[in-house]
Amino acid sequence: MRTRSDNGKLLLTYAVLIVLTFLSLYPALWIILSSIKEGNSLYSDTLIPSKMTFDHYRDLFERTMYPRWFLNTLKVAVCSTILGTFMLLLSSYAISRFRFAGRKTTLKVFLVLQMFPGFMAMIAIFVMLNAIGLLDSHWALILVYSSGSIISNVFVAKGFFDTIPRSLEDAARIDGASHLNVFVSVIVPLSTPMLTYASLMIFNGAFVDFIFADLILRTEEQRTLAVGLYKMVSQRNSTEFTTFAAGAVLVAIPVTLLFLFLQRYLVEGLTAGASKG
Amino acid sequence: MVRMRKPVGAAILSAIMFGLGQLSNRQWTKGIVFAAFGAIGIYGLIFELFDHLIGLITLGTNPTGFVKVGKLTKMVEGDHSIFMMINGLVAVIAALLFVFYYVLNIRDAYLVAKAREAGEDVRNFRQSLSSLGQKNFAYIILLPAFLTISFLTVLPLVFSILIAFTNYADPILPPARLVDWVGFDNFSKMLSLKQWSHTFGGVLQWTLIWAVIATTTTYIGGVLVAVLIHQPRVRFKKFWRTALIIPFAIPNMISLLVMRNMFNNQFGPINDYLRRIGLGGLPWLTDPFWAKTTVILVNMWIGIPITMILAFGVLTTIPKDLYEAADTDGASSYHRLRYITMPMVLFSTAPILIMQFAGNINNFNVIYLLTNGEPVNINYQFAGHTDLLVTWLYKLALNQSQFSFASVIGIFIFLIVGSISIWSYTRTRSYREEDMIQ
């Protein structure tokens, strides 16, 4: 039996949901519309521009080093993802499965490392890289991102491996498989959800980092998208706002799509990470 | 005379010289390999590492200065304290590895001799190598991570911690000046010297207020939104969910920069709308109070989706018969929320709440990209009204070259976050009952 007040409540629910949806989509909508607006100012009379233009996107490609930055970013992000996921997989598997001397200590060290503010170490890395002449190199970034990604994801990954029953590996071992065989043919295929989550996190981290990358990459040619974009806003501020808007849209699109498509893994990973395995 | 037991004898031989114990065990190749690496290590320790280890203690003795050479004065470059410190740290690690190798060498001689005493066959070199892979598989696959983390995370971190105990802060910057160890000076300055303690107290206070408000608002907001969508009669659940996850999917570096423009006092669309409906615009980012409000509002926009996702997970696990029982008893929807949904959700998300609190203390991006810590507080030392400890740390180190003070703040943050995390971590089930499953 539905009463009138029940229907009223449902209507109210929908009204609230519509308002929330509008609020959560508005910034994206606004920046997309700003990017196809004429002129270069922040201010506009109407939300939907009266005249549309794709000039800002063209400018981005012709007047800035945007394509170059894009390739740099892709290189850094893909390499860090591969290297980071590889090391993460190996180390969290070892911690989850083997009871070796120093295991508890290793776990505690990881926990402690997570608690330091990330860029406390940044200055030291900068000085070190400077000393060995690796400044302004993408490889420095890749190594640092991979190392950081192990620390931030190790508990999620370990928790995931803990849930895979040992009987699967034991069966393979009875058949005479070595540790390496077991790992490659039993464990890796089973870890797809965790691998997807971890690599998405690492990729995203490398894609949007502007603090550390800005410190390491000294020349314009070496910059990544995030750094380039950040400089664009902080240096020229609102004078070239529409070009920034176009750049922001292009950076956001790949990551946003990845997140939306891989939503399921994301939810699983987040839930696992939240309860610390 | 009591004959010395063989294993102890082999261990002592190895302790005297690398590989000697192995040779006495008749493992010729292994003994030679151990001896060779040992010799390289000792050579390195004496001729390469020793100076660096001394350097770590002195941090340099020759300042940069002018020296008279005949009639001319020439500038002579002195010691660079910071490079010396890093070299010293690398040397310490190398020395530790060497000590580890030394212990390993003794242990190996002891174990093999013991096995021989028990009448087992002694493995030849090739067999030892191949069994190494199976026996120590865990260590071998941990090695790449171990190496990268020790050099790229642990070493820099130790360096930063050590910096807190030196006077490495503008104007004492190498190579022009030598840096010295000063013990706990910086800590006592931070806590008692007026100019520092005033800023530290203020920033710390705002950091904690911020962390509490930011955590509770996103948490309550996220749970409420999830409950709203989860109502049985609401349709298009998947659509609402996806639409409301969007703020989480957009990289927050982008959305924060966009927000900064949206909240622009003069030209931003938000003030524009407010003016159009006849209300004056608000100083969103320039007034201390409103800037704080803005960062909290924007943080809600970013943070609510995450709690929402997590709360969904919990909501689907609440058994339906609980609600049916409540219906039979004539409970109102408010009562169902208050006595069934909220306790269930709160119970399973409590650890997240604590971790989010710790995360918010370190929430660099929201503050840095949105307000950059501004508006400036003239009573503060290099900090603004919305600066958190982390953003202040960043400014001190990168803009002001106050490295030692930045490190002191980093250590304080570590102590705060560390005590919260350890407290919550030891309470999670997975830590206490780790080996109970399986």
pLDDT at B1: 39
Q: Does residue A3 fall inside a structural domain? A: no
Average pLDDT, integer, range A15-19: 92
pLDDT in tens, A52-61: 788 888 888 8
How far is the alpha carbon of B110 from chain A, nearest alpha carbon, in Å? 18
Cα gap B318→B337, rounded to integer Å: 12
Q: Does residue A48 fall inside a structural domain? A: no
Task: Count how many domains chain A has.
Answer: 1
Q: Does residue A23 fall inside a structural domain? A: no
Q: Which residues of B touch A179 (CB under 8 A)?
A: 133-134, 137
pLDDT at B375: 83
pLDDT at B436: 40
Q: Which residues of A touch B333 (CB under 8 A)?
A: 9
How far is the alpha carbon of B378 from chain A, nearest alpha carbon, in Å? 23
Average pLDDT, chain A: 83
Write out the residue range of the structural domain in which residue A88 sits: 64-276
pLDDT at A20: 93
Number of Cα atoms under 13 Å in the Cβ half of residue B342:
11
Cα gap A208→B363, rounded to integer Å: 15
Q: Does residue A238 fall inside a structural domain? A: yes
Percentage of residues of chain A with pLDDT beyond 70: 93
Measured distance between the N- and C-terminal CA atoms of chain B, rounded to whole angstroms = 53
ipTM score: 0.85
Cα gap A259→A266, rounded to integer Å: 8
Q: Does residue A236 fall inside a structural domain? A: yes
Q: Which residues of A touch B156 (CB under 8 A)?
A: 121-125, 128
CATH classification of the domain holding A250: 1.10.3720.10
Q: Does residue A33 fall inside a structural domain? A: no
Q: Does residue A138 fall inside a structural domain? A: yes
Q: Average pLDDT by consecutive 10-residue portion of chain B (438 residues)?
A: 67 84 82 86 85 83 72 74 85 89 87 81 74 78 88 88 87 79 88 88 93 93 89 85 88 88 83 82 85 93 89 81 83 81 78 82 89 83 89 87 89 88 67 44
Percentage of residues of chain A with pLDDT beyond 90: 14
Burial of residue A98, with CB atoms counted within 10 A of its CB: 0-12 exposed, 13-18 middle, 19 or more buried: middle
- Mutation target to probe the A interface, by most A beta carbons within 10 A, among B132, B218, B253 is B253
pLDDT at B427: 67
Q: Does residue A194 fall inside a structural domain? A: yes
* pTM for the predicted model, two decimal places: 0.83
Average pLDDT, integer, range A132-160: 87
3-state secondary structure of B193: coil
Average pLDDT, integer, range A171-186: 83
pLDDT at A274: 58
- Mutation target to probe the B interface, by most B beta carbons within 10 A, among A1, A22, A123, A134 is A123
Cβ–Cβ below 8 Å for B157 and A25: no
Of B248, B349, B351, the CB nearest to A276: B351
Cβ–Cβ below 8 Å for A147 and B83: no
Chains A and B form CB pairs within 8 A to the count of 257
pLDDT at B437: 37
Q: What is the C-alpha radius of gyration for chain A, rounded to an integer number of angstroms?
A: 24
pLDDT at A277: 37
